Amino acid sequence: MDPQKFFRITRGGRVEKVLSGITAAETAGLRPIKLNSVVVRGFNEDDVVPLAALTLERPWEVRFIEMMPFGSVGDFAEAGVVKSQEIQAAIEAALGPLEPLDLSGGEPARTFRLPGASGTVGLISPVSQPFCAKCGRLRLTADGRLRLCLLRDDEADLLTPLRRGATYDEIKEIFRTAAYRRPFGHALAEKMFPQARVMIQIGG
């Protein structure tokens, strides 16, 4: 919400352009509009309340995500994590109680609404309240690998067999075998952080 801070964190981005893009998306009728922000101690925890306050007027879902540790930045991420409980307490102290909404489905966010708000607030808590038990996601990376869990390094290579001319059934079998060996969740509690890639190399 602070133009200078946004410029620094994004290395050159202009927050006014982003906000006008979001408003344009709303005017064009795109739904739902979800804004994800990763809260990092010492960087942007002051922006939690102004971001949540956007939902009072706008029909957006503003979601706060706990930072996840990856490889060489694992220690930094652990030190910087702001847990959802703290985020919720800050919002409630400033803007009133967050009423939980029952939006069951495959969404990782727990969803709330501030009193009288048009939009909603989401809390995504992979560190403090993991939601792995209901996660069925596989991610396809830009270099053609199937990542079985965001926070594990295990991947299945699809690109090499595709380039070799693998048939549809062969690719299907690789996909199926990989899906069966999906882990049951991350291992952050055992201090096992993914090492091979960081978030921008996976795609979130």
Q: Determine the straight-line distance between the first and last CA of the chain, rounded to whole angstroms.
A: 22
- Residue 124 CB contacts under 8 Å (≥ 6 apart), including other chains: 36, 63, 64, 65, 66, 84, 108, 109, 110
198 binds ligand SF4 (CB under 6 A): no
Nearer to ligand SF4 by Cβ, of 85 and 129: the residue is: 129
146 binds ligand SF4 (CB under 6 A): no
49 binds ligand SF4 (CB under 6 A): no
The edge-to-edge listing of strands for the beta sheet with 155-157 is: 139-140, 145-147, 155-157
199 binds ligand SF4 (CB under 6 A): no
192 binds ligand SF4 (CB under 6 A): no
Q: Among all chains, which residue has been given the structure tokens 């009072």?
A: 56
Nearer to ligand SF4 by Cβ, of 62 and 68: the residue is: 68
192, HSE (Cβ side, Cα atoms, 13 Å): 10
By CB under 6 A, which span of 57-65, 128-136, 158-166, 173-181 interacts with ligand SF4? 128-136
CA–CA separation, 92 vs 86, rounded Å?
Answer: 10
Across 47-68, b (16+ Cβ under 10 Å) vs e yields: bbbebbbbbeebebbbbbbbbb
Say whether 76 sits in a helix, a strand or coil. Answer: helix
For the bound state, the minimum distance from the C-beta of residue 9 to ligand SF4, rounded and expressed in Å, comes to 23
By CB under 6 A, which span of 5-13, 33-41, 146-154, 194-202 interacts with ligand SF4? 146-154
Say whether 110 sits in a helix, a strand or coil. Answer: strand
Residues 172-191, interacting with ligand SF4 (CB under 6 A): 185-186
135 binds ligand SF4 (CB under 6 A): yes
> Which pair of structure tokens corresponds to residue 149?
């869990």
149 binds ligand SF4 (CB under 6 A): yes
How many residues form the binding site for ligand SF4 (CB under 6 A)? 11
Q: Among all chains, which residue has been given the structure tokens 């981005």?
A: 13
Contact characters 15-44, ligand SF4, x per CB under 6 A: ------------------------------
List residues near ligand SF4 by CB under 6 A.
126, 130-132, 135, 137, 149-151, 185-186
